[in-house]
Amino acid sequence: MLHTDDHTTDDHTPPDPLPTARRRPPRPPGARSEDGLAARCTGCGDCVSVCPASILSLDPDGYPVLRGADRCGHCGLCADVCMFGAIELTARTRAGLALVMAIERGMSRHPGEG
Ligand code: SF4
Ligand code: SF4
């Protein structure tokens, strides 16, 4: 028996869960929301200068953007140097980052172990 059910719809394109315009550029750890950066970041570039990994630059809006997040040591220097509170690491976040760093160090000492 010929089955002729037609399940086609007008639009098979799945909705983009996060449209490009709303994707957040990679920011340094502790960076405020985009609205927070707009309110606080002056584009002074101090965070860029202090980053020991040289992975920060200013985007066209003058906000810090992270290129090469895998090289970020989560040292927090960019937050320390920001006098405007645009990057702010709470004690809790610092503790979390320290834990991540410790785990990463352990993993690099014992590659393949799990
Ligand atoms: S140090 Fe602070 S105010 Fe200056 S560019 Fe970096 S985030 Fe913006
Ligand atoms: S946490 Fe340290 S390594 Fe990472 S972006 Fe900030 S200054 Fe650079």
Q: What is the pTM of this model?
A: 0.73
Torsion of CA 15, 20, 21, 27, to 10 degrees: 130
Sorted by where each starts, the structural domains of the chain and their CATH numbers stand as 24-109 (3.30.70.20)
Query: Which residue is closest in CA terms to ligand 2's atom 2?
Result: 75
Query: Which residue is closest in CA terms to ligand 2's atom 1?
Result: 74
Q: CB of 53 closer than 6 A to ligand 2?
A: yes
Burial of residue 84 (number of CB atoms within 10 Å: 0-12, 13-18, 19+)? middle
Q: Which two tokens stand for residue 61?
A: 């809006």
Q: Cα(first)–Cα(last) distance of the chain, in Å?
A: 55
Q: What does the pLDDT look like over 57-100, one tens digit per residue?
A: 999 999 999 998 889 988 899 999 999 999 998 888 888 877 87
For residue 52, how many other CB atoms are within 10 A of its CB?
11
